[in-house]
Amino acid sequence: MASSDRIVGIDLGTTNSLVAFMAEGSPVIIPGEDGSNLVPSVVALDENDKIIVGNAARKYLIETPDRSVYSIKRLMGRGLEDIQEELKLFPFHLADDLQPEEVLRIKLGSKTFTPPEISAFILRQLKRNAERFFGAAVSKAVITVPAYFNDAQRQATKDAGRIAGLEVVRLVNEPTAASLAYGLDKKQNGIVAVYDLGGGTFDISILRLHDGIFEVIATNGDTHLGGDDIDNLLIRIALDDIRGDLLMDLSRNGEAVATIRKAVIEAKIALSFQESVKLDIELAEGRRYRREITREQFEQLAAPVIDRTVGPCKQVLKDSNLRP
């Protein structure tokens, strides 16, 4: 295949991203320089103002949180008034001179970047991974987006691709991509519900399959709902505990918040396999924050976030003239 005809598929995720291609009818994920299939959606500026992306950028979330950014997908195509609550727990900051109607600009060190520009750094890394794998230029891509992304969010994704030097041949709704990945298109007929609760977005789609062709009957969701919200609840609990027990207010300490975030994410993952997990976080002045969290406590904490997905699910069934 000529390099000009090659099209890669990109999952531009809130937490992680990846690039793949089709080989003999099956998708093959292209590993990064470190051998990992997943590229964390983290971007940082090092001490020399060089852009660092992926696993190599994760350490900067703790060491220099004012020079790093994560979960940028949640800010794509959104305005200043949309993100006030999120900014309270994000360690990064907006440009000081940002106007209400202006495209968001994120401060990384002394520089500022828009969400599409930051997403473009991630896309550019995926593009480099693909070019190294093929030994040839890659200039075309299909990129997945949440089904409930609005026009502004979809355009921001296209802009990111263009900035990264990619022709975005098509944006594919993530539920459709998931259905294809699970081989549901190989079935002849049927109705499929795809429930997708990601790191920063949620969508639920009802698809009708007829002769291997997907038709989206209805879709609903929340572009402001995902695993990040559960992380943020855990972070708030830790910050409140530390304020009450240790008399330390760390809510505006970017490095401390980033350290706590890393610890609670690891705890959340561990609770998928363990009945309980112990947090033990080193703080300033040699002090430590310790707390045990059981799976039952975690599930109770996460329940309100999960419950927020029920409304869109009911609505999409109603729009599809279906019953549970």
Lowest mean pLDDT among 123-132, 163-172, 244-253: 244-253
- Predicted confidence at residue 323, as pLDDT, reads 81
* Range list for CATH 3.30.420.40 in the chain: 1-185
pLDDT of residue 68: 92
State in words which class domain 227-306 has.
alpha beta
Percent of residues, the chain, with pLDDT higher than 70: 96
In the chain, residues under CATH classification 3.90.640.10 are 227-306
- Which stretches of the chain are assigned E, i.e. beta strand? 8-12, 16-23, 26-29, 39-40, 42-45, 51-53, 68-70, 93-94, 106-108, 111-113, 140-145, 167-173, 189-197, 202-210, 213-222, 276-282, 288-294
Mean pLDDT is lowest, of 19-33, 175-189, 240-254, 276-290, for 175-189
Residue 4: its pLDDT value, please?
63
CB within 8 Å of 36: residues ≥ 6 apart:
55
Q: What is the DSSP string of 189-241?
A: EEEEEEEEE-SS-EEEEEEEEETTEEEEEEEEEETT-SHHHHHHHHHHHHHHH
The residue ranking higher by pLDDT, 313 or 5, is: 313
The pLDDT of residue 183 is 73
pLDDT score for 203: 86
In this prediction, residue 188 carries a pLDDT of 64
CA distance 281 to 237: 13
Position with higher pLDDT, 41 vs 103:
41
pLDDT at 3 over 70: no
pLDDT of residue 98: 82
Instruction: Name the CATH superfamily for 1-185.
Output: ATPase, nucleotide binding domain (3.30.420.40)
The distance in angstroms from the start CA to the end CA of the chain is: 46
pLDDT, tens digit, 9 for 90 and up, residues 183-214:
776 666 788 899 999 888 888 999 888 877 77
**pLDDT value at 151 more than 90:** yes
- Check whether 162 has a pLDDT greater than 90: yes
At residue 185, the pLDDT reads 66
The sign of the dihedral angle between the CA atoms of 265, 295, 272, 206 is negative
Non-local (6+) Cβ contacts of 181 within 8 A are 27
Residue 2 vs residue 207, higher pLDDT: 207
Which residues are marked as active site? 11, 73, 174, 196
Distance between CA atoms of residues 31 and 34, nearest Å: 8
Label residue 140 by pLDDT band (50, 70, 90): very high
Confidence of residue 139 (pLDDT cuts 50, 70, 90): very high
CB 230 within 8 A of CB 248: no
- The predicted model gives 86-95 an average pLDDT of 75
pLDDT confidence tier of residue 81, bands split at 50, 70 and 90: confident
Q: Indicate whether 2 pLDDT > 60.
A: no
Average pLDDT, the chain: 89
pLDDT at 260 over 60: yes
Hunting for tokens 């402001």 — which residue is that? Answer: 224
